Structure formats: structure tokens, C-alpha cells
Structure 1
Amino acid sequence: MRIYAPDHEVLNALRGTNIELLVDVANEDIQSIATNPSAAANWVQNNIKNYSPAVKFRYIAVGNEVSLSSSIAQYVGPAMERIQSALASAGLQNQIKVSTSIAGNLLSVSYPPSQGSFSNEARPFIKPIINLLVQNNAPLLVHVYPYFSYIGDPANIHLDYALFTSQGIVVQDGSFGYRNIFYAILDAHYSALEKEGGAKVNIVVSETGWPSDGNPPAASSGNAGTYYRNVISHVKSAQGTPRRPGRGIETYMFAMFEENQKPGAETERHFGLFFPNQQSKYGISFN
């Protein structure tokens, strides 16, 4: 489960459950944590240590899709270091991994996947982060959205390639064949990591989803249900990607509930797996 900022009502509800949690350091808190050691210590004390081990924290994401042009981009790496040090002081460094969650637009090249590379603009931002991940054996958190890839280039990206329904290999990249763009996006990021010294860094998909409304015909209940069922089936298998075979892919679905009051594009209100009354939209099983 993922929450995008510490919510003490949610944290209290998770006490004594077996639910593992990914919790974010909110973007607006990053600068103060990066520049003030006591701010990092207080954040860990108030939001992690006060609930652990009753709450099973798995990851801390220092920031969510921080824009390279944002004034806080320069503070993400230092804030990750501060949180890591605060966890060590609390004796939790071996239980909880520190990372940050990135969007897919940090790559300048993503096709073919073997040529994946971070942009020149992104490299000064991501390189120190990769070094920290390597040092602490932590994963990179990446948002993977085949929906946006498809609607951004429907002439070249077919719907079945985005929905895991292709009957054969769509992209042949050397010895690697791709039947779905989800794996291709992941492997493009693995290629980019390798080029920056992060060959040992694993990727956790910290968001993926498909909207059920707001942009027909791509955004439909049928397509969304197909995507969610297929992505769950694929990431739970031990198949892995062509570049990283033989293992499951830890993946967080976005989102749990419909958000009918969310601002922005209409599709943003229709990514939920459940209606606000807790009824399932698609009858999906996670077992």
C-alpha cells in the first residue's frame, strides 16, 4: 500500500496488520529535511518510529515526481541522505529502504529499450540518487503508465501492446522480444540505470493504472479492467522482463478509489479500482 504523505489516522488503522507500506515525504517538506538534520530526525520519529514495528514500513519515497525545473530538485538527494541517517539513528536502516519516485519523462531515449538513457538535463539530478541507491541496496521507484504512452503516440503504439493482449512479439530489440510496452518501459529504465552505474539497482513500479472514463475510446471501463487484470497477472508471475527475467515485479496500483473531486483532466478522476462506497469496479482479485 502507498500513501503520499504521513496520515496518522491511516497509520493507526494499519497497526497490527500485515500490510506493508510505502510512505512519501511530501514534496513541500524536502528542502527543510535536506538542510536541517533535526527536521529529518523529527520526521522519522513522528511518522515512522512512533508506529514501528506495529506498522510495517517498506519504503520511504523522498518526493513524488519532483520536476527537474523545480526549486526543490536539488534537495532530493540530500534529503534522502538525511532520512537514511535518521533511520540509522533509529535502528531501522535495515528494515526500511529510502528512495524517490520518478515519472517516466527523465529518459531522453526509451526506444528501443536497450538504448534507454537519462537525459542530459536529468543526469545531474539522478546520478547522486543512483549512487545512494547502490550504497544502500535500495530500489528506484518508477511510475509506469502504458496508457499515457499509447495516447501520446497511437500511430506507433497499438492498444494491444499497451494492454498486454498482443498475440506475438511487437518489438524485437536484439535478443530481447517485447509483447507489451510495460516491460519495454521497465527495461528502458534498467538500461538507463546501467549507463549510470546502477546495474544492481532494482526497480519498483510505484504507480501504474488505466482510466475508465474521460478520454474515450482509450479511457474506458473495458480497457481499464483488461489492463488491471493483465498487469496484476504479469507482475505476480516469476517471468520478469526480458532484461531482468525470472522474478516478480513489485507494483503499486494507482489508485485505490475514484477521485471525483480531483482537479485536472477528467481522466484523473477515474483511475480508481473501487468506487467511494468501496464497491469494486472490475471484480479484480489480487490473490
Structure 2
Amino acid sequence: MALLFLFTKNFSIVPMVALFVLLMCGIQMTGVHSVGVCYGRMADNLPSESDVVNHCHANDTNVLNALRESNIEVLVDVPNEHVKTLAQDPNQARNWVNNNIKAYFPSVKFRYIAVGNEISPIKHVEFAPFVGPAIENVHNAIVEAGLQDQIKVSTATYSALLTNTWPPQNSMFNPDWRGFTDPIVKLLKDNNLPLLVNIYPYFSYIYNMKDIPLSYALFTDSGINSAGYQNLFDALVDSMYYALEKSGAPNVEIVVSETGWPSYGHPAATTDNARTYYTNLIDHVRNGTPKKPGKEIETFLFAMFDERGKGGDETERHFGLFYPDRNSKYDQLNF
């Protein structure tokens, strides 16, 4: 089963709640059943939506319609700016589910709904108080539709919410932000919902090159192993697992909603390094982590294409696995 993570502003079916600015498209990889690929659209030189969906074994000119009967599973994102609306009005959540999920189900195989992406109680004070209530309202709408066994509702978060992350066993959610994280964690635990987490060893490495060996970030050497960890990806994933455990939710599962390595824009951002990261990651995720050995890690690679329209550091425009002409940047990757 291929996986698709869908974020696109073109699906503004409900006026108050549009979908976001990216489309993540999953490509089935040989021997790996839990890896998807992100399809960012912040560029003016990318293939058409229909071409990209064809790339994912579907057809048609409208992406959701194109996904009908495609055997590609989808994760749909609710953008940060609409989280408050869904939190304050259960009817808006119900309408969103009716128009964006039920209208396409079951011919489109929805898997997750991510309510917000990397919302921080410091950087996004206008959205943060509403994440938990929005998840609850959307989840309740999914239950009302009888889809709770097929579609799980969550939010996509990141390691910045943690403290004491090394060794991973010491990790916890920042105590100053427990008013934000605790209700979300409890909601996920009580409803058997996963936590979506963006994991980027690349950024951890470049911000602490003094202490983190490149080989440790690329899975190529044991590097730091005093805490039983042979690579940075596992350490970051398990840091989140330990934080969940300390918050009373040891059984909440983690889905890696984004991970990637850029190919240009920094001394560590090379094509060889990126190829190494993706190749080793694809081989690795089937094996689990030291805390969850043997448990395959559902993972989405970021991203499908380089996106020359993105702002920020130069590296932000070079996370693609494919060139805009759909030729693979990394020929040795086994898709």
C-alpha cells in the first residue's frame, strides 16, 4: 500500500477551512510498506498535479478525484490558521469532515488527519490553545461518520517541544509547556490515536556539529553509542517516545510525518550525503528503534521535488528526491 500525505491549498472546499500548501505523495518502495514521500508545491516549474498523481499510480486532473481507487493512502492536513475555527465550532469540524473526507471516502483511502503542523506554544500563541480542542472536534466528527477505525486524527509536532533529549531516556516535554502538551497527549491516549512527529537529524547535526558526528546522523557509523544508540534518527524518535511515557501515554504510537536531507546550500547538504541518508533510512525503518525493537516506523520522506519558491535558507529549496522533470536525483534509491 502506497502512502500519501496531502497538504494543498487548492482544496478549499470548506470556506473557513482549506487544506494547506503541500501535497505528500507516497511511492511504494520494494520491501518497505511504511514509507511515503512528500510532494511540496512551492515552485513554478513542477509537473502538473495529474502528472504527479500518475507518478503515484493514479490518474485524473483533480488530485482527490485522481486518488479514487488508486490504492494510495492519504494523510490530510488542517492548516494552522484554521485550527481555532475547528476548535471553537464543532459544526465547522463536522462540515470539514463531510466536505473533505466523506465526500471522497471510501474510494480515496484516508489514513490520518493532522490538525496543525509544528505548532509551538511560544511561536504560535494564537493557535496553540486550540490544537487539543480542534483534534477532539475533528475526531468526534470522524466517529459520528463511523470512520474511526479507518482514519486517525492527530497533530504534527517536533522535537523543539522536548527538553533533556540526551540521552533519550531523560527526555520529557518542556515543563513550562505542559499546559499545551498534556491535554493533547491525554486526548491521543484516551482515543488510541498516534502522534505525528517531524524528525530531522540534518538540523540537529548542523546546529551541533561540534558534538554530533556526521556519520551518526547518516546511519553510517555508531558515532555516539554510550546510551545504546547507533544513529541520531533513533535517538530523536525515542526521545519523543520517552516524553510520551513520562506524560502517562506509553502506548501512543509515533508516525514520522516528515524527515529528509537537503542536497545543496550547506557544507553538509550534498547529493552524496542526502543519498546516503535516504538509502540508509529506508533500510532502517523496518527494524524499529532501541525502545521499540522490531516495530516498523511509518515514515514520510521530505520531499518529492526541489521547491525553488520556498523562502528561508538555501537548503530549504533542495530537499527533493526528484527533479521537476520527474527524473530521480538519487538513482540508487530503490522505489
**Common fold: TM-score over 0.5:** yes
Separation in structure 2 between the aligned mates of residue 13 and residue 126 of structure 1, nearest angstrom: 37
Aligned counterpart, 2:313: 265
Q: 2:182 aligns with which of 127, 130, 151?
A: 127
Aligned counterpart, 1:187: 238
Deviation at 1:286, TM superposition (A): 4.9
Deviation at 1:5, TM superposition (A): 4.1
- Partner letter of residue 325 of structure 2? N
- Partner letter of residue 117 of structure 2? N
Matches for 1:12-27 after TM superposition, within 5 Å: 12-27=65-80
> Contact 2:115/2:134 (CA < 8 Å) preserved in 1?
yes
SS of alignment partner, residue 172 of structure 1: coil
Aligned counterpart, 1:232: 282
How many residues of Structure 1 are paired with residues of Structure 2 in the alignment? Answer: 280
> Aligned pair 1:77/2:132, yes or no?
yes
Deviation at 1:124, TM superposition (A): 1.2
- Partner letter of residue 74 of structure 2? L
Aligned counterpart, 1:205: 256
Aligned counterpart, 1:4: 7
- Partner letter of residue 231 of structure 1? L
CA deviation string 1:252-277 (max 9, x = no partner): 00111110111111100000111111
Separation in structure 2 between the aligned mates of residue 151 and residue 129 of structure 1, nearest angstrom: 30
Aligned counterpart, 2:85: 32
SS of alignment partner, residue 219 of structure 1: coil
Separation in structure 1 between the aligned mates of residue 215 and residue 181 of structure 2, nearest angstrom: 32
Deviation at 1:170, TM superposition (A): 2.2
Deviation at 1:39, TM superposition (A): 0.6
Q: 1:196 aligns with which of 215, 233, 247?
A: 247
Separation in structure 1 between the aligned mates of residue 137 and residue 89 of structure 2, nearest angstrom: 8
Q: 2:296 aligns with which of 236, 244, 248?
A: 248
Aligned counterpart, 1:223: 273
SS of alignment partner, residue 63 of structure 1: strand
Aligned counterpart, 1:50: 103
Are the structure 2 counterparts of residues 112 and 149 from structure 1 closer, same or farther at C-alpha, using a change threshold of 3 Å? same
Unaligned runs of 5+ in 1: none
SS of alignment partner, residue 275 of structure 1: coil
Deviation at 1:7, TM superposition (A): 4.5
TM-score, structure 1 as length reference: 0.94
Report 1 or 2 for greater relative contact order, CA contacts < 8 Å, sequence distance ≥ 6: 2
SS of alignment partner, residue 20 of structure 1: strand
> Contact 1:258/1:275 (CA < 8 Å) preserved in 2?
yes
Identity %: 54
Separation in structure 2 between the aligned mates of residue 86 and residue 7 of structure 1, nearest angstrom: 23
SS of alignment partner, residue 142 of structure 1: strand
Separation in structure 2 between the aligned mates of residue 284 and residue 38 of structure 1, nearest angstrom: 49
Aligned counterpart, 1:171: 225
> Aligned pair 1:214/2:265, yes or no?
yes
CA deviation string 1:162-219 (max 9, x = no partner): 00000x462222xxx111000011111111100001100111100000000011x201
Separation in structure 2 between the aligned mates of residue 144 and residue 52 of structure 1, nearest angstrom: 30
Unaligned runs of 5+ in 2: 12-61
Separation in structure 2 between the aligned mates of residue 136 and residue 42 of structure 1, nearest angstrom: 21
Deviation at 1:122, TM superposition (A): 2.5
Deviation at 1:4, TM superposition (A): 2.2
Are the structure 2 counterparts of residues 90 and 6 from structure 1 closer, same or farther at C-alpha, using a change threshold of 3 Å? farther
Matches for 1:270-285 after TM superposition, within 5 Å: 270-285=318-333
